[in-house]
């Protein structure tokens, strides 16, 4: 299994707005080969810290997704988000292979 995380810190007053975006996401990734699960995590002590947690069957499946046209289309839309402050936030990405369960 392969896990990818993407963490952003947004102003606390905008956290609910970002959460709503993810609740209403396109779900295109759900159809990608090797995709297992999506979760959006909110830090209990820092409500503006949000982490997308994705699980994949393999690193190859993840890499196939991030080089797909569908991935590029979704991420181009993010750059056009009307709230320029949110659109300009760069996430911290982590990539992990599962070595024990």
- Residue pLDDT, tens place only, 9-39: 999 999 999 999 899 988 999 999 999 999 9
Give whole-number Cα distances, 67 to 32, 63, 64, 75, in Å.
Answer: 11, 6, 5, 11
Total number of domains in the chain: 1
| Domain of residue 58, residue span | 2-97
Q: How many CA atoms lie within 13 A of 21 on its CB side?
A: 15
Instruction: For 73-98, write each residue's pLDDT tens digit.
Output: 887 767 667 777 887 788 999 999 99
Mode of pairing for the β-strands spanning 2-9 and 35-42: unpaired
Residue pair 90/75 in contact (Cβ under 8 Å)? The answer is no
Find the CATH number of the domain harbouring 67.
3.30.70.100
pTM: 0.88
């Amino acid at each position: 299994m392969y896990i990818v995380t993407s963490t952003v810190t947004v102003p606390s007053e905008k956290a609910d707005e970002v959460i709503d975006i993810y609740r209403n996401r396109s779900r295109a990734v759900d159809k990608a080969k090797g995709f297992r699960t999506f979760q959006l995590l909110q830090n209990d002590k820092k409500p503006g810290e949000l982490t997308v947690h994705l699980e994949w069957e393999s690193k190859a499946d993840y890499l196939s997704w991030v080089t797909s046209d569908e991935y590029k289309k979704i991420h181009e839309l993010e750059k056009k988000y009307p709230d320029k402050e949110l659109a300009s936030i760069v996430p911290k990405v982590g990539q992990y292979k599962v070595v024990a369960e």
